Structure 1
Amino acid sequence: MTAVLDQFMEFHSVHGTNVQLDPSRTRATRVESFANGVCFSKDPLSPGEIFLVEIEEKELGWCGHLRIGLTAHDPRTLDTVPEYSLPDLVEKGDSWVFAITRNHNKVTEDEGAEVEQPNEGNDTSNKPKTFFTDTHLYIENMGIPRDKLVGRSRPGRFSHILDDLYKTNALPPTARRSRIGVVYVPKGEGCANMHIVINGEDMGASAKRIPTNKPLYAVVDVFAATKCVRIVQVEYGFASLQTLCRKTIQKHIVHRMALDWLELPELLKHYCKYE
């Protein structure tokens, strides 16, 4: 089942004291220190709706990286925004946060735990990743359009090589331009599992049996070595004409840098290169 959702994602006006939002509220920058970088989604997420961010800037000298998750706390009801998502926000209860690391982000089932059978069409264990042909990433029975999930390098001489490294998750998830998202999928009556998605790959259920009796907001902690993130809008339902044009053009070129050789408007070239 594919979620049909089209809300424009923004960061909430309530955030950590060291966070600065751009006028569109889609870019969050930690302007000093390494903490007080906690942000929230403006609106609660729906089941199967991913809150996706791209790492835009990093800052050397700090230990730790982006943290992402969910909270049932309405940001407007918080007396103060916690300095850290881990452990401060989590210790308030009704919050589930996952710390992204350079390695070992994939969640494995405990030995002896019941292993769920994959849904039809979702058995990816014995077949290669098909980033170019699969239109959706399926988590349980929820489908997320794959088009925007994978990070892209800056256009340049070696960008065709770097793009392939993002697609196969060969680069560290904490690298610039990596795309990291959080989503929850229903699991029975009144509960859900939280999944982290890194460059188009599901990392597994990082939190299980989350109560869904309250609205769930995304949490993004712009922490330590992660200095700036921007929201990537994921299109559900019918794609825009702009997106359809981009997809058609990209089908017929070897690599996006080949756009420079085409007689196309500069704005369209820019959109195809960066998105």
Structure 2
Amino acid sequence: MSAAATPATRGATAAELVPALPKSPVARLRWAAADSWTLTLRTFRHWARQPGALILALLFPVLLVLMFGYLFGGQMAVPGGGNYREFLLPGMFAMTMVFGIETTFAAVSTDAARGVTDRFRSMPIAASAVVVGRSLADMAHSVAALAVMVLCGRLVGWSWHDGLARAVAAFALLLLLRSALLWVGIYLGLAARGPESLVAVQILVWPIGFLSNTYASPDSMPGWLGAVAEWNPLSATVAAARELFGNPGWGGDSFAARHAVELAIAWPVLITAVFLPLAVRRFNRLDR
């Protein structure tokens, strides 16, 4: 006899059939971790079945490196001298992290629009697993994108010059920025009316990405615009990465220029502090 037909379950309500939540904090943590990993694997399987979009997302920043490094690079002068492509690559690493917002937004908004997120929330799984699983998958995607960009950089002559430990610190700051922007993408994905709103996100992301010290010195911009570019969170990460990699940069005597590493930590922490609660609140109010 099937379990559904036993006297113990015959006539039971749906709520009574849902497994009880673990009582111990350790058991709850294990339960949430297992559910999060299951949903992470779900995303990996989607990528394996539809690799085209994943490959394009990984190669698009490479196209930008080739375009800016070779098409426009001959006209760009780095203050104090230096190879423009060595100057460019840390900025492109950071831009790749920023572009990840679009990947997160598209996945989250698609699941929400199709009712997948609501179905997950109605299942006996840890509520946090839906968001954590998405975050783990997108961070893995960002690590892969960063690896592709490093390989591209090595092929065009980029390298770090101040030791492996400082290079690892630079990569950590880049991933810290991505982890903060994850919550921006999750919040916008949950707040959007559907994946067709991706164009609006691109209109937001691209100006923020280009209004930075990635391609041009803030000193070369009008005063107010240069100040905005210099205090852009992306600029802090780019400047810190250049410093830690030992690559040429714009320099400067402003507070933002002199404390790039500190700001590259502070900005992601602030972004996370703002958007993580907003994303959680939006997730909890999806059915309202």
TM-score tier, shorter chain, comes to: under 0.3
Identify the structure with bigger relative contact order (alpha carbons < 8 Å, sequence gap 6+).
Answer: 1
* TM-score, length-scaled by structure 1: 0.26
* TM-score, length-scaled by structure 2: 0.25
Q: Which has the larger radius of gyration?
A: 2
User: Which structure features the higher share of strand residues?
Assistant: 1
User: Which structure features the higher share of helix residues?
Assistant: 2
